[in-house]
Every structure is written in C-alpha cells, then in structure tokens.
A and B are shown apart, each in its own frame.
Chain A
C-alpha cells in the first residue's frame, strides 16, 4: 500500500509526548485507521481525559476535540452522542483515567452500549504525575507510591468491559502496529460500545529495562471479540 501523508489530519505540527511514548504510536495509528476507513474528520468528536493519553487528540487532531476533567471523558461523550447521534464519538483515555477515577462511568457506559469507541492507552502507571501505581499495575510493582511493592491485584480491563456489557472488546499493544490499526478500524465501524485496549510503554517513568518492556508487549496475545 502506498504511504499516505497523514499530516493533513493534524492541527499542530508538534506534540508534547516524551521520546518513545506509546501515545505517539496510538495517535499515528488512529490517523491511519481513519484514513484507511476514509472517515471524514468533520464527523468525529474526540473526547479525552487527564493524563498523557488526554493529549493524543487535543490539540493534535484537526477534528472537534474536547479535553475533559480527569476520569470524566466517557460521561461527557455520553452527552455528546445522545444529543447528536450522527456524530462519531471516540474517547481517548489512559488506565488511570478510565479504571481508577473514571471506573464508574466506564462500567455504566459498557452497560448502556451507546455507539462510541473507547481507546485506552494502558501503560499500567500514572505516568503524568511521575509513575505511581495504577489499578492495572502488576502485583509487586515498585513505584513512588508503592515503595515496598504493590499489594493489590490488577484489573483486566477487557474482562471488566465484557462483564459490564461492552459489545466489542479488543486488546493489542504498541508492539503490534498493524493489529492496532485493524482493531481501531473495526471499532470505528462497530455499531455499539467498543473498547480497544492498547498496552503501552512509558519510557520516562517505568523502572524497567526498555527492551524487557518491549519484549513483553510483543508477547501480548491480541484479540478482538465482538458480540455482533
């Protein structure tokens, strides 16, 4: 396939992500997905929360974009979609934004099965505040707020979404760019609530060796389940 210039989808020609951040990969692959699906950016509303993932659409993507308070992106998206169902509403969120502070909105949105897409960049940390433990962190993980190791079990976000009634759930990682594009394309076309989890790296705050982290991401078993 001929490479296409995706810069026409960008509002600004620079971004604030750290070098090596997965958010840049998700941004690029989302643009590829809308380009390959030939989605008119004017039909999109991109909603994001607080955290590094909140900066993926805002201000980068040249479409209606609203950057909302921490955890509330899905609640704001619900109001937008209900009032104008013709809009294609996509939420960009992180694991802290979605599963910690926004957990209640997340499960209820799954239950309601409104036609919207949630893209969760899961780096299993609160990255923007300096790498504290998240509800997705593995047991034993040492972080600034778990100096003696994490004593809690992590959420499996896809199982949580499925259990709460999401129509489509998918998981992939930044180590699987082609799969990520395909899953994003599927979710954008899915009529109902779709949830795409992208396991990601944090080169700035993860204490792990970047090569180990990448190897783990490559090992992620990706899947895409849909009820319809």
Chain B
C-alpha cells in the first residue's frame, strides 16, 4: 500500500505493464505522469524523451512501437486535440499504443486545473474517418494504476491505440494504491519476410518489428494485407474500414467491463464514470437509506460503448452524472446531471434524483 497521486499511480501502472518508451510534452494536469516516468524509466532501461509538442510525442511513440516498444504518452485536452492525427494513423496502421488523457475543462485552454469529462466524444470521433478504438475510464488512483496496465494488455492484444480517459480530479488526487502484479501481454510478432500478411485481419494480424529482417511495409494510406497502398478502389477502402472496426467490435466481451451497485431491486439507476462516480455511489447509498429503490452503474469502458451490455431498459428512469453537458446521457437516453468543471457532490446528485 502506498499513498500516491493518481498521475503517479498511472505512471507506475505503465511501468508494471512493461512500458519501455515514453514521449511526452508538459501539460497540466498530466505533467506528473511524465515527471514520474522521467525519473523511473532509466531504472528499468527504458527510454524517456520530452518532445517539441504533442504531435511529435505521439509520433515518436508510434515509431518506437514499430521498433518493438511498449509505448505511452500522456496529455490533457489541448494536447489530446493535437494527438488526434497520430491516433488516426495508429488505428490505420494497427499500432499498439497507450494514450492517457487527463481531462481538463475546455474548449481550448479552458481552466487548466479544473476537471471535465468533455473529451468522451473526442476520444472516439476526434480523428477523421470512421474507426473503433478502446477507451477505459478509471475512477480512483487504484484504477489509474490497474487500468493503465490493462490498456497496455489490450493495445498489444488487439494492435490498437488504447486511451485512458482520466480527469484532473483523479490525476491530482492522493489515495492509497496497491501496486499489485498486473497482467502483462506480449505482442504477437511476425517473423516472416515480406511479402507477408501483416495487416487487416479481423483476428489481429501478427506485427513485424523493425530490425528483424522482416522488411515491413507500413503506410497510413489505405493498404492491403501486405501494406501496399490501394488508393483507387473504394470497395477496398470499405473492406479495410470494416475489418479495422470489426477487429475491436468482435472482442467486446473481452474489452467491456462495468460494475453494478444495488441494482438487483432497483427500478431507477444513476450511471456515472470517472471521478463523479464516487459522488454518485454515495448519493445512491443515501437515497437507498431513505427508501428509494435506486442503483448505480459505474462505467469502466467507455469505448466501445456498452450499450448492449448495461441494458438500461430494465430501469424505468436513468440519470447520468457526468462532468459535461450530456455526452453519455445522450447515448443512453438518460437525464443528465451535469456539473461542468466540478466533481459532483453527492448532495447535487441526490437533489436531482429527488426532483424526479
């Protein structure tokens, strides 16, 4: 047990999962992740570099990943916007990579030291084109540690960028964390010399690594299974996009997790995620003490969004407590309990529920 800041727990989770490359750029409220990694990385022989901007940071991670690294970068909203170019490229080239977004308020520079959950949609739809990826949402410093490690396992297993969508309150919160052993997933490496099929397999193609003599061919242009550009055939593009999406969607069962509290007898529910979940659960417990049959669902995976898994239709009334004007609530047809830039108090959630 250690008393750690959420950002520091995230850095420790990455190292526990075998992260051996980190490129980043300072930004509040994610800087502490970089600072911790900068000091700790050389102890395990890994590489740390502070790049010239967030675009360079994610690109360096992509390069390192193709050289065989378990790579991570961390940022906040303004930097996350810049990284969208790299996220799209990582999706298209099937590059394993972990991106931590410690959300702060926006748009633009916003309030750098205030939390918000305004990047829920950007995490999935921020880059151009049509794609699927994975985004995990922690709600405690302990989960900053565990979910970061899980992000690495999923990234390696599915050859995809994975986003850890944290928020300022979690990043800067100090909490006891158990630095437990975590699942470490190693990459399925292709050792065949080109021409070898290293892309576009719904069951995840093995990945060549630079310097292995595989003569890998990689491009962000639409390509075939061998990495050869195919840019004049719309039918092929359609096929490529569907395979990239299907690669994630068919593993939903492995990816999607959420937790239910007091839902067995509940006829209404408060859905929440990230730091507001903590207040939501407290509010639900107080409401139950007052005799209300209400439950709480904590989302842990926000992309792919667990529409089919959480089955909101079993409740007659759904509230979503989130730090934005209604991103998840819009998706589940629930009523938003919004609190922009401030973690909800359980009082605010209770009042909203009691007002019906």
- A170-183 to B contact mask, C-beta < 8 Å, 1/0: 00000000000000
Binds A, one of B10-18, B44-52, B101-109, B322-330: B44-52
Looking at B56, B208, B219, the one whose CB has the most chain A CB atoms below 10 A away is B56
Whether the Cβ atoms of B219 and A63 lie closer than 8 Å is: no
| Docked complex: B147-185 residues within 8 A CB-CB of A | none
Chain B residues contacting A43 (CB-CB under 8 Å) are 211
What's the minimum C-beta distance from B210 to chain A, rounded to whole angstroms? 5
CA of A41 to CA of B23 in the docked complex: distance in angstroms?
28
Which of chain A's residues 43-90 have a Cβ closer than 8 Å to chain B?
43, 45, 47, 58-59, 62-69, 72, 75-84, 86-87
Check A84–B228 contact: CB distance below 8 A: no
Q: Is B62 an interface residue (CB 8 A)?
A: yes
Q: Please determine whether B210 and A87 come into contact, CB atoms closer than 8 angstroms.
A: yes
Selecting from B65-73, B245-253, B257-265, B288-296, the interface stretch reads B65-73
Query: B217 near A77 (CB under 8 angstroms)?
Result: no
Q: Does B203 contact A (CB under 8 A)?
A: no
Interface residues of B in 37-79 (CB under 8 A from A): 47, 49, 51-53, 55-56, 59-69, 71
Min distance, Cβ A43 to any Cβ of chain B, angstroms? 7
A62 to B63, CA, bound (A): 19
B181-225 at interface with A (beta carbon < 8 Å): 194, 208, 210-211, 213-221
Complex contacts, A68 vs chain B, CB 8 Å: 59, 62, 89, 220
Asked if A79 meets B215 with Cβ closer than 8 Å, knowing A11-B194, A67-B220, A104-B53, the reply is no
Count A/B pairs, Cβ under 8 Å: 127
Selected contact of B63 from candidates A59, A79, A108, CB within 8 Å: A79
B168–chain A nearest beta-carbon distance, Å: 27
Taking CB atoms, residues of chain B closer than 8 Å to A87 are 67, 210-211
B68 to A84, Cβ gap below 8 A? yes
Q: Which residues of A contact B217 (CB under 8 A)?
A: 11, 58-59, 65
Residues of the B chain whose Cβ atoms lie less than 8 Å from the Cβ of A108: 51-52, 56
- Expressed in whole angstroms, the Cα–Cα distance for A64 and B216 within the complex equals 5
The answer to whether A42 has its CB under 8 Å from any CB of chain B is: yes
Interface of A is mostly: mixed
B56: chain A residues within 8 A (beta carbon): 72, 75, 78, 104-105, 108
| CB <8 Å contact, B215 and A78 | no
| B228 with A82: CB separation less than 8 A | no
- Given contacts A59-B229, A64-B216, whether A75 and B59 have CB atoms under 8 Å apart is yes
Contact B60 A76 (CB under 8 A): yes
Q: How many B residues have CB within 8 A of the partner chain?
A: 42
B227 on interface, CB distance cutoff 8 Å: yes
- Which A residues are in CB contact (< 8 Å) with B319? none
Interface positions, chain A 97-119, Cβ under 8 Å from B, are 104-105, 108
Contact of A83 among B47, B52, B215, B218 (CB under 8 A): B47
B219 lies within 8 A of A67 (CB): yes
| A83-B67 contact given A64-B210, A67-B219, A104-B52, CB 8 Å threshold | yes
Measured between alpha carbons, how far is A106 from B214 in the docked complex, in Å?
28
Residues of A within 8 A of B62 (CB): 68, 76, 79
Taking the closest CB of chain B, its distance from the CB of A106, in whole angstroms, is 10
Residues of chain B with a CB closer than 8 A to A41's CB: 215
Residue of A58, A81, A82 most packed against chain B (CB within 10 A) = A82
Q: Tell me whether A63 and B215 are in contact in the complex, defined as CB-CB below 8 angstroms, given that A69-B85, A80-B210, A104-B56 are known contacts.
A: yes
Residues of chain A contacted by B86 (CB below 8 angstroms) = 69, 72
Tell whether A83 pairs with B64 under 8 Å between CB atoms, given A11-B217, A104-B53: yes
Distance (whole angstroms) from the CB of B107 to the closest CB of chain A: 23
Within 8 A of A (CB), among B6-40: 20-21, 23
Q: How far is the CB of A205 from chain B (nearest CB, A)?
A: 20
Inter-subunit contact B60/A75 (CB<8 Å): yes
Contacts of B21 in A (CB 8 A): 79, 82-83
CB-based nearest A residue for B213: A42
Q: Which of A58, A80, A83 contacts B219 (CB 8 A)?
A: A58
CB <8 Å contact, B218 and A45: no
Instruction: Known A11-B194, A68-B89, A104-B53; judge A82-B215 contact (CB<8 A).
Output: no
CB within 8 Å of A: which residues of B? 20-21, 23, 47, 49, 51-53, 55-56, 59-69, 71, 85-86, 89, 93, 194, 208, 210-211, 213-221, 227-229
Q: Can you name 14 A-B pairs with beta carbons within 8 Å? A: A11-B194, A58-B219, A59-B228, A59-B229, A66-B63, A66-B219, A68-B62, A68-B89, A69-B86, A76-B59, A80-B64, A82-B21, A83-B69, A84-B68
